[in-house]
Structure 1
Amino acid sequence: MRKLWTMALLLALGTRLHAQEQRFPVIPYPQQLVPGTGEFVITKDTRLVLPAHAGRYSNETAQLQSLIRQGLGYSLKVAAKAPAANVIILRLNDALAGEEAYTMQVNPQQLIISAKGAAGFFRAVETLRQLMPPFTEGSAGGHVTAVNIPAMDLKDQPAYAWRGMHLDVSRHFFSIDYLKKFIDLLALYKMNKLHLHLTDDQGWRIEIKKYPLLTQQGAWRTFNNQDSVCMQQAKNNPDMAIDTAHIIHKNGKTLYGGFYTQAQMRDLIAFAAARHVEIIPEIDMPGHMMAAIRAYPYLSCSGESGWGKDFSTPICPCNEATYKFAEDVFSEIAALFPSEYIHLGADEVEKTSWAKSPLCATVMQQNNLKSVEELQSYFVKRMEKFFHSKGKRLIGWDEILEGGISETALLMYWRSWVPDAPVKAARHGNKVIMTPGNPLYFDGVPDRNSLSNVYHFNPIPKGLTAEEAAHIMGAQANIWTEWIPSEKRADYMFMPRMTALSEVLWTNRQDYGDYLQRLNEHYARLDQLGVHYRLPDLDGFTEDNVFVEPVTLRVRKPLENLSIRYTTDGTIPVAASPVLPADYRISEPQTIKLAAFSPAGNRGDIYTLHYRKQSYAKPAGITPAVNGLQLDYFKGSFKTTRVIKAAPDTTVRVANIVIPEGLGPAGAAFGARLQGYIQAPETGIYSFFLTCDDGGMLYVGGHETVNNDGWHAPLQKSGQVALEKGWHPFRVDFVEGGGGYTLKLEYSVNGSPLQPVPDTWLKTK
């Protein structure tokens, strides 16, 4: 009886917590929220009382009134004195901890927002925005006679000062209207930094009046190899089509590109500032400068542009004309952007041209520089000194550590394979912004693991004391756009991943299931805002499926309002395609393409399901005696598992699908083969899910079971195999291209939740 009572209590508690999250579907979740009884109802009779010195907060008041006007169709009347009931009160509270801190006390009579300053009032307005009905969003909006806000006592402030997003507008260009939409989403989820990557080899995107060729020539290009990849993928995914708004025809050539005038950028900066988002410009030097060098060839050491061993030819740090150019450019950038930060980039520099330059040899000798890495540091430090003269602080990618770093530079850490970089910088006293490629490079194609990986990211590197950890300012996610050619594709790549990062950086909360429940309430809001977000994953199948007897496909939908549409003729599902039956019977080999559609017409991932008939694989007829697997380690770079060399450099035994540290240099490319036998405890069809960065193949029972080959960002692929009870041959081939890897194998039987393959299932002879 006690057991039954306990189960009932847990079920009731779970139901109550779920109901509470639906009542307060706020992302990021507040630091403290105590639910109250009842609701505050906003109507045409509600009055607004402004804080002392109300003129200082006119922007935030206007944002609040705009929010209410979207919901109710009118603004609230302002009262000089608070009535006893039906009133919203904005109140100053200097005792709060920080500029973004705020409190919100809601009961049936009053809604009181207290803040230390303008930023706190604005963050409170965005919380209130999320508590209002989703249909009030967007240009169309929707008016009701009343809006109910649940009673609560809320206290909130951010865990980290730097909560950022990065957008590369050089590889592919984005309109000012899209940047405003992007900024509004940042504000909605309490992100406060937008790092704009304005220049690179593929395009110069900001007007510099002293050097007009930077945009007249450098902002335009003929289609490159990245565009070709996008065009090819657009055949199966319309989101990958090149945006025709950024294509022109000039002098008989088709050109892609665009740039922002300084007037356009001032307007964008003002738009962001009104939403308490700071725009940080990046002009990437001394590498990634091909667009500039082609316009002004004297900037390189040889007067030529092109590609070296790894990267493009950089500008020359040994020519005073280079510094004149750089200082002129950054003078205009410093005057244009009010941010205290300017990002210099300083990553991925091809230094071979410096090593060959007689001029650089002289400069290095005169300045006692022993390597080209120190020469890069010389350039960075000179630019930082110039930034200081303009009242700005320098940010650089973590390569600025090489050759020495000043104590005042900010380090942006991205190279996951150099884990000690942020630790060294923090111990040196430098401020650090965490942007590791895994999981914060949002240009990596998302899969079912992506949200979880972001949500469980810890911004504090291992090995730091509490005092050293104080140098970690926060984090940001980066969107590099080589293969993101459209605004819809950009939306898909960063939403909803950004919502997970926002909770990490604002609340530092670790309740993933709770977060997912709240996220489900946000999709309708994103639909209203015209966001082409990635729909949550469908379940109940793998990509490569087998059957022994006829089977039934039952797709599990994460949201009830999704419709699942399918085709069997190889075409892509569209909104007019037939709806997949709840029980779809499969009795012969076939290929099914299916996709989910939201009520707003947003299409989710296209799943291609292959079904083939297979007999149960016979076991090997042996019982292997040794626990674990044999791991063969191959030094070198292999783009696919098919070309791993024959003889391993090292062979060791491992307990599971793991690659121990120390087999090769950190961050190096390698190949690996893990082999032995896997136990099938019962006869059945086993589903396997292989996550790789870079690529891998799984073979079970003599069958190719999962193909996740080739270099790519972390990505999960799945497949099935029919096995008789017993021990079966087992092999995982894996290749890593360098820079940090992911390798994970999970399984499912009869639709069970994914779980790691147990150690006891793996043995060798």
Structure 2
Amino acid sequence: MINTVKKTATVILLTAGMVLPWRGQAQNQSLPLIPYPQKVTMASGSFNINRQTVIALPSGQQSHQEATLLNNMVANGLGTYLKYGTGAGTNVIKLVTDASVTANEGYILSITPKKIILSAKSGAGMVRGIETIRQLMPDNVELANGTKLKQLVLPSVNIEDYSTYTWRGMHLDVSRHFFSIAYIKKYIDLLALYKFNTLHLHLTDDQGWRIEIKKYPKLTEQGAWRTFNNQDSVCMEKAKTNPDFAIDPKHIITRNGKTLYGGFYTQQQMKGIVAYAAQRHIDIIPEVDMPGHMMAAINNYPYLSCDGGSKWGEVFTTPICPCNESTFTFAENVYKEIFEIFPSKYIHIGGDEVDGSGWAKSGACKALMVKEGITTAAQLQSYFINRMEKFFNKNGRKLIGWDDVLEGGISPTAIVMYWRSWKPNAPVTAAKNGNKVIMTPGSPLYFDNEPDKNSVYNVYHFNPVPEKLNATEAKNIIGAQANVWTERIPTENRGDYMIFPRLTALAEVLWTGKNDYQGYLARLQQNYPRLDALNVHYRLPDLQNVAQNNVFTNQATLNITAPLPQMVMRYTTDGSVPNLKSTVLSGPLKITQSATIKLTAFMPNGLHSDVYNINYKQQNLAEPIIKANTQPGLTCDYYGAFYKKTALIPTEKPTGQYIVNTVVVPAEAAAPQFGLRYTGYLDIPETGIYTFYLTCDDGGILNIANRLVVDNDGLHSAIEKDGQVALQQGLQPIALNFIEGGGGYTLKLKYSKNGSAPQDIPAAWLKH
């Protein structure tokens, strides 16, 4: 949904400088702003905020709340708060309420050597402009106990700005692993910094109930605590080499001789969080997931399920029963208290991953299905969702559900949150049905998916609007958000690592809506010191030109340029994890024998990268195969079944067989879960060492010349892994096994030679 800023009179006068339109002007952009404004006019000089500067409020002080945010930042930098005044004269920061700024979150900012004027029609617009001022101020304004300056210097500039999408959201799952109030407030502050306006809190799930409900006290007395589960054990194993995976001791207690993990927010605590967000004009959208993902509730109130309890099925847990009135009494009582805590007009009911296979066995459900003409479990879920939507609407709220709620039919007034990337028509169907749609596809917007060197690029180039929508239908795409599920995120540091810097890329997609990736990367470099000041444990920029598995015939050279000047790279060759005492990689390192090098990049403030495991193997050039009468393309055998590893794919009797001219998932592979086996030859045009890049969601293994080149096996999100192989010119056997466990349908294979940029494998190379 597009917003615009309009003025009835000319506000920005160009007396110096030049207009910097977004596209194609990265070389002229000098402002470290993310997201970048819609229109920037650079001017001469600067405005210096000092202890004599005055903040002038609009008549009636409608912006006092917003001005307090600005004054707190200034006080961090100067050591004193500014006084409020009339705005007459110079050396003033003037906040102006201006109804002609038509976009709700739009603002106009004019900074001259004499004054700052920030104009907006709403408090939300005022805050977005203040956050721009914040990013223009020195980084020390983020530190209450930092060094105090005599003045804060801001460049002269005129900015006209507004958001492209109305829904700019981030999500946080506090159920799988719990997070402190302080961390949530830090999260909110960072969302405000980058102009997000929504925080979606996933408050309940099978693993824990995190919000106090006074009518049902056992939800938090018992449901908020658990013994360590299999997700915790995975994190504990990873913690042996990375302390960011250690289970946070703040959330561990001992009760009746048992060690328990968990926690919850009282209603009063959550109201404080809501108020903190509201000051920054960020809505908190609560999610109490129903009818599935309710084990934490059913274990304490067994009557909620059709058979009096909950257990894990093949994939999901037993849901609550949509056929008993007691279920609706419980759900409505819970949501009445949720409504009292959260003023947002949007409430998320979940509605995803519901295993309704047991409902049909219930006598109550059999009777309801006859009465309502219901024939499927999906329709039973829709009955529950549609009835709850009416309850929401009666209480002045709007229902949001994951796109699963579409399957049994849904009213056009519900808001659909699209997450299942393997169902690309879901958002199209919803938008054509008249539903407002929020885009949250797992690829690339599940920030709990392990990042790789392509993650930021993929987020930045995400287009929220599906291609199959016309201009009118596209207006139903109101924005997007990234989701952070925390099964494998047990600490706040790991949360930061997974979220940043991907969040900054999404901020620009949703606010600015235009593409200047190189300009964004330059501004991201300028944003790192601010994130340092805010104690954000972000993921460091990836080291470039580092292959995981390298081969050489005589010798090789490890030569890496640090992406940040203050970054120090340290390595080991004995299998140990690098630390601050390990050898510094200060220049090119010659490799003359097979070896494994472990390398970690360190920053002065203690941040460090994950460990790079760089393998070197001395290898002879593989001799080609002599074979006449080859045909174009590879053979692709398709097996329509579920496999956890590629080794489990059969070698006989495929479901289907195709000849393919490119290595992608063929359109014929339509099952939710399947395996693919590609075989044939690569017609290598030139002798040398080749690097292959294999991206899989879920897993794949690549063999060339009967040598393992890339092992990207297992069930996981779209991750790129690479490897090298020494090949002579001619036909070289290729075998690629790929598994899809349900979700991504992503398979890409690229190559490079002698350090060239990765590129697609030409169709002319593929033979069988």
How far off its partner does 1:566 sit?
A: 1.3
Amino acid aligned to 1:38: G
Q: State the Cα deviation string for residues 280-318 of structure 1 (Å, max 9, x = none).
A: 111111111101011111111111221223310111111
Q: Is 2:518 aligned against 1:513?
A: yes
Q: CA deviation at 1:18?
A: 5.7
| Letter matched to residue 685 of structure 1 | I
CA distance in 2, matches of 1:301, 1:362: 13
Partner of 1:681: 685
1:31 lines up with 2:38 in the alignment: yes
* Letter paired with 2:142: E
Q: 2:54 aligns with which of 47, 68, 84?
A: 47
Q: Residue 154 of structure 2 aligns with which residue? A: 149
* 1:344-743 mapped onto 2 (5 Å cutoff): 344-622=349-627, 625-647=630-652, 648-665=654-671, 668-743=672-747
Q: Partners in 2 of 1:365 and 1:485 — Cα distance?
A: 46
Query: Could you tell me how far 1:102 is from its partner in structure 2?
Result: 0.2
Contact 1:540–1:556 (8 Å) recurs in 2 = no
Per-residue deviation, 1:93: 1.5
2:767 maps to a residue whose letter is: T
Aligned to 2:11: none
- The answer on whether the counterparts of 1:234 and 1:241 sit within 8 Å (CA) in structure 2 is yes
Counterpart code for 1:417: W
Identity %: 54
- Relative to 1, partners in 2 of residues 1:622 and 1:646: Cα closer, same or farther, differing over 3 Å? closer
The Cα shift of 1:372 comes to 2.0
Match of 1:187 in 2: 192
Instruction: Quote the Cα distance in structure 1 between the aligned partners of 2:547 and 2:384.
Output: 52
Say whether the 8 Å CA contact 2:235–2:245 is kept in structure 1: yes
Asked whether the equivalents of residues 683 and 767 of structure 2 are also in contact (C-alpha less than 8 Å), the reply is no
- In the other structure, the counterpart of 1:315 is 320
Partners of 2:239 and 2:744 in 1: CA distance: 30
Partner of 1:82: 88
Give the Å deviation of 1:732: 1.8
The one-letter code sitting in structure 2 at the alignment partner of 1:651 is Q
Which residues of 2 match residues 121-200 of structure 1 at below 5 A?
A: 121-200=126-205
Quote the Cα distance in structure 2 between the aligned partners of 1:135 and 1:687. Answer: 44
Instruction: Select between 193-202 and 736-745 the one with higher mean Cα deviation.
Output: 736-745
Which of 744, 747, 758 is equivalent to 2:748? 744
Q: 1:408 corresponds to which letter in structure 2?
A: T
| Post-superposition CA distance 1:165-204 (Å, at most 9, x none) | 1111111111111101111111110011111110011100
Q: Which amino acid aligns with 1:763?
A: L
Contact between 1:166 and 1:478, CA under 8 Å: does it hold in 2?
yes
- Residue 753 of structure 1 deviates from its aligned partner by 2.3
The runs of 5 or more residues in structure 2 that have no matched partner are: 1-20
- Any conservation in 2 of the 1:691–1:743 contact (CA below 8 Å)? yes
Residue 764 (structure 1) aligned with residue 767 (structure 2): yes
Q: What amino acid sits opposite 1:182 in the alignment?
A: Y
- Asked if the contact 1:693/1:714 (under 8 Å) is kept, the reply is yes
The residue matched to 2:625 in structure 1 has which SS? coil
- C-alpha separation in 2, matches of 1:356 and 1:697: 43
The amino acid of 1:588's aligned partner reads Q
**Secondary structure of residue in 2 paired with 1:266:** helix
Matched letter for residue 24 of structure 1? L
Spell out, residue by residue over 1:223-272, the C-alpha distance to the aligned partner (whole angstroms, 9 max, x if none).
11111111111112111111111111111111110000001101100111
How many angstroms does 1:676 deviate by?
2.3
Name the SS of the counterpart of 1:394 in structure 2: strand
Q: Which moved more, 1:230-239 or 1:202-211?
A: 230-239
Instruction: Tell me the TM-score normalized by structure 2.
Output: 0.94
Q: Which runs of 5+ in 1 are unaligned?
A: 1-12
Please give the secondary structure, in 2, of the residue aligned with 1:627.
Answer: coil
Are 1:540 and 1:553, in contact at CA under 8 Å, matched by a contact in 2? Answer: no
Q: Do the aligned partners of 2:26 and 2:516 also contact (CA within 8 Å) in 1?
A: no
Aligned-residue offset at 1:559: 1.4
Instruction: Return the alpha-carbon distance in structure 2 between the equivalents of residues 559 and 722 of structure 1.
Output: 32
- 1:755 pairs with 2:745: no
Which residue pairs with 1:64 in the alignment? Answer: 70
Task: Report how many residues are paired.
Answer: 746
SS in 2 for 1:445: coil
Q: Match of 2:4?
A: none
Instruction: Give 1:111 shift.
Output: 2.0
Shift of the alpha carbon at 1:625? 4.8
The alpha-carbon distance between structure 1 residues 729 and 115, as it changes in their structure 2 partners (threshold 3 A), is same
The Cα offsets for residues 571-598 of structure 1, whole Å up to 9 and x where unpaired, read as 2222332211311121122111111112
Per the alignment, do residues 160 and 554 of structure 1 end up closer, same or farther by CA in structure 2, a change over 3 Å counting?
Answer: same
Q: Which one-letter code corresponds to 2:258 in the other structure? A: K
- CA root-mean-square deviation: 1.8
Q: Any conservation in 2 of the 1:624–1:763 contact (CA below 8 Å)?
A: no
CA contact (8 A) 1:624 1:764 kept: no
TM superposition shift of 1:19 = 6.0
Partner of 2:309: 304
Q: CA deviation at 1:64?
A: 1.0
8 A contact 2:192–2:282 mirrored in 1: yes
Cα separation, 1, equivalents of 2:160 and 2:275 = 29
Q: Give the superposition deviation at 1:17.
A: 5.6
Normalising by structure 1, we get a TM-score of: 0.95
The alignment partner of 1:185 has SS state of: helix
Aligned partner of 2:98 in structure 1 is 93
Instruction: State the secondary structure of the residue aligned to 1:78.
Output: strand
Report the AA paired with residue 623 of structure 2: K
